[in-house]
Amino acid sequence: MQGTRIRAVLRESTGNLWRELKIAFTPVPKPKKWVFIVGCYNSGTTLLAELMGRHPDISAMPTEGHFVTDQFVKDFDIGLPRMWVDREDLFRLTESDSGPDVIRIKKEWGMRLDLSKPVLLEKSPPNSARTRWLQKHFENAHFIGLVRNGYAVAEGISRKGNPKHIKDGWPIDRSARQWARGNEVLDQDSEYLKHFTWVKYEDLTGNPQSTLDQLAEFLGLQPFPALPEDEAFRIHERKDSVKDLNAVSIEKLTAEQIDTINEIAGDCLERFGYERLGGRQT
């Protein structure tokens, strides 16, 4: 038994040493632009990153950047998967904050990027809370804020918390607050950003080619290559063509849950142009 533990410790130590060597010999990325896709969980950020990574001038991280650096708090590690607003104090960073090792983050991300490309793209929903810090430390940073119907997002956050991460899933009130507060923080901080644009999930899924070409213009790039019709994309647990899944999610909500979302996130829904739904009949 003791020998098994010793071997496990040795494997971990060897893995850590190899990782540190890789970081040490990875050059610091120096792209023409860093691009950050930010927005609430379950808003389509993975889909958008997958689509944007097809541009010949863009190298996109194959996973969320906050998972592959030891410099940021991870929501899963503190028992708050998909729920960073519950500990906003641990995630929020502005240009006046210090702490994370910027060079190390760039190297950790650089190990997973094609550094020959002029544009490097990263997406992590918790980065919605640290856009101002990222702008200060990442050259020519451009931010794409992705927003999706709050009813569908709240349903998705609650559903995806169960059973793998949170027993019985997140209560709908906390999921709605994550959507509303997360977008509020991003909206407020966007006023300090030099290069920021909003994109709606509904526009992306309704006309992905047009949306991508608008983003190419925002980034000063040539238009995106034409998307093959009905191509399937693997997004987390499903593989499907690009389509708006809002109705599927909203259909799962009860009248009481809709009332709760309206109470917590109603103002934010209206801020982003989403119509309030009727819940409990009175």
Give domain status of residue 48, yes or no. Answer: yes
Give domain status of residue 114, yes or no. Answer: yes
Q: What percent of the chain is predicted at pLDDT more than 70?
A: 87
Question: According to the model, what pLDDT value does residue 282 have?
Answer: 42
Place of tokens 């499903």: 238
Taking a C-beta distance cutoff of 8 angstroms, is the pair 176, 264 a contact?
yes
Q: What is the pLDDT of residues 121-131, one digit of tens each?
A: 999 999 999 99
**Rounded to whole angstroms, how far apart are CA atoms 189 and 226?**
33
Give domain status of residue 278, yes or no. Answer: no
Give domain status of residue 282, yes or no. Answer: no
Q: What is the pLDDT of residues 140-181, one digit of tens each?
A: 999 999 999 999 999 999 998 755 566 778 999 999 999 999
Q: What is the CATH number of the domain that holds 196?
A: 3.40.50.300
Nearest to 231 by CA among 244, 243, 220: 243
Give domain status of residue 262, yes or no. Answer: yes
Structural domain containing residue 193: 2-271
Domain total in the chain: 1
Give domain status of residue 124, yes or no. Answer: yes
Q: For all residues of the chain together, what is the average pLDDT?
A: 90
Give domain status of residue 281, yes or no. Answer: no
pTM for this prediction: 0.89
Give domain status of residue 279, yes or no. Answer: no
Who wins on pLDDT, 232 or 260? Answer: 260
The residues near 180 (Cβ < 8 Å, ≥ 6 apart) are 150, 264, 265, 267, 268
For 31-64, give one letter per residue: b (16+ CB within 10 A) or e.
bebbbbbbbbbbbbbbbbbbbbbebeebbbbeeb
- Please say if the pLDDT value at position 69 is more than 70: yes
